[in-house]
Amino acid sequence: MSIALLQREDNKIIDGKSIAHQVLQEVQADVSKIKQKGIDPCLAVVLVGDDPASHVYVRNKVEKANVVGIRSLEFRFDEQLSEVDLLKTIDTLNTDPTVHGILVQLPLPKHIDEIKVLEHIDPKKDVDGFHSENVGGMSQGRDVLTPCTPTGCVRLIKETLGQDLSGLHAVIVGRSNIVGKPMAALLLKENCTVTVVHSKTQDLHLVCQQADILVAAVGRPNMITASYLKADAVVIDVGINRVLEDGKPRLVGDVAFNDVLPMVSAMTPVPGGVGPMTIAYLMKNTVQAARLQHPDL
Ligand code: GUN
């Protein structure tokens, strides 16, 4: 490939790291203002069990909180923790006025009812936006705490296409509670025409080919190839898949990056696309949670 062509392709890569850095700077400024008013924003992170990926995510979240001046508390429990004891920990955090955000890292061990735990978190401290009160509020387009990954994706799309997404057709591949469903609600709020496709969708290719914006969140390595896309689509790859390539471990997305890049107007890489935005929006949500608890801030 010529250097000119390579540079053109490079310009299409949405730099999640740099946009996340911008978001974190906004958060840092907000945190300073809040501290001047006597409130010290604090995020509590709860981790049960020893899933290695969850340990990495939690460490990254705590580190980033420290960078932007948010106080963090970590609660690590072994796999055997009972549901009752986890609910008691959440009770304590719910009633502690110095804690503004609570995040229970998922997945939880099988003997713990995930929905029961998420419903136990005070909706005003629910920085994941997973409580049904927040899910309902989001689907009504109200200004509630919304899930970090899809909220970060909307920011990436707006940084790429501008603030007005009205009338654009967004196709979301995947219907998870963490990404697919909230993504649909958030893009509807932006006046997009939204289609959610999944493993049972007929003519998946044909539907995806209608997308001005395609969000891939299925957890299937390299599933979306150029044949799924209309020319000049914007592609957001939420997938984080660990694969072995030539015997070496590698992170890849749900989108076949090299195949798709020549076809799109812009796309996110993996890593360095959506991932940094998830953490940045967790910090933004912690500030929003502090403001919900102290409306005078
Ligand atoms: N596990 C994978 N993604 C998430 C997330 O966004 N929040 C929580 N709490 N756990 C997760």
pLDDT in tens, the chain (297 residues): 666 666 678 899 999 999 999 999 999 999 999 999 999 999 999 999 999 999 999 999 999 999 999 999 999 999 999 999 999 999 999 999 999 999 999 999 999 999 999 999 999 999 999 999 999 999 999 999 999 999 999 999 999 999 999 999 999 999 999 999 999 999 999 999 999 999 999 999 999 999 999 999 999 999 999 999 999 999 999 999 999 999 999 999 999 999 999 999 999 999 999 999 999 999 999 999 999 999 998
Vertex 232 angle, CA 226 and 236, to 5°: 70
**Rounded distance from Cα 10 to ligand 1 centre (Å):** 30
Q: Which protein residue's CA is at the shortest distance from atom 3 of ligand 1?
A: 106
Question: Which ligand 1 atom is nearest residue 54's CA?
Answer: 1
**Rounded distance from Cα 230 to ligand 1 centre (Å):** 31
* Single-letter code of the amino acid located at 185: A
Task: List CB contacts of 126: < 8 A, sequence separation 6 or more.
Answer: 102, 118, 133, 134, 145, 289
The residue from 12, 61, 124, 284 that is catalytic is 61
Contact 115, 121 (CB under 8 A): no
* Residue ranges around ligand 1 (CB below 6 Å): 103-106, 128, 148-149, 178
Question: Helices (H) and strands (E) in the chain — how many of each?
Answer: 11, 10
Longest alpha-carbon distance in the chain: 62
Q: What pLDDT was estimated at residue 1?
A: 60
Q: What pLDDT was estimated at residue 10?
A: 82
Q: Which protein residue's CA is at the shortest distance from atom 4 of ligand 1?
A: 106
Question: Which ligand 1 atom is nearest residue 106's CA?
Answer: 10
128 catalytic per annotation: yes
Give dist(CA 224, CA 247) in Å, integer: 23
Using alpha carbons, select from 170, 150, 171, 148 the residue that is nearest to residue 161: 170
Give dist(CA 226, CA 263) in Å, integer: 7
Using alpha carbons, select from 100, 17, 134, 130 the residue that is nearest to residue 64: 17
Contact 118, 130 (CB under 8 A): yes
Which residue reads 């509670």 in tokens? 177
Which residue reads 């959440």 in tokens? 90
Q: What pLDDT was estimated at residue 61?
A: 97
- Strand ranges inside 148-225, DSSP E: 169-173, 193-197, 213-216
> CA-based Rg of the chain, rounded to a whole angstrom?
20
* Single-letter code of the amino acid located at 38: G
Strand partners, 14: none
Give dist(CA 224, CA 204) in Å, integer: 10
Mutation to probe ligand 1, out of 47, 51, 106, 120 (largest number of atoms < 8 A from CB):
106
Vertex 150 angle, CA 106 and 111, to 5°: 15
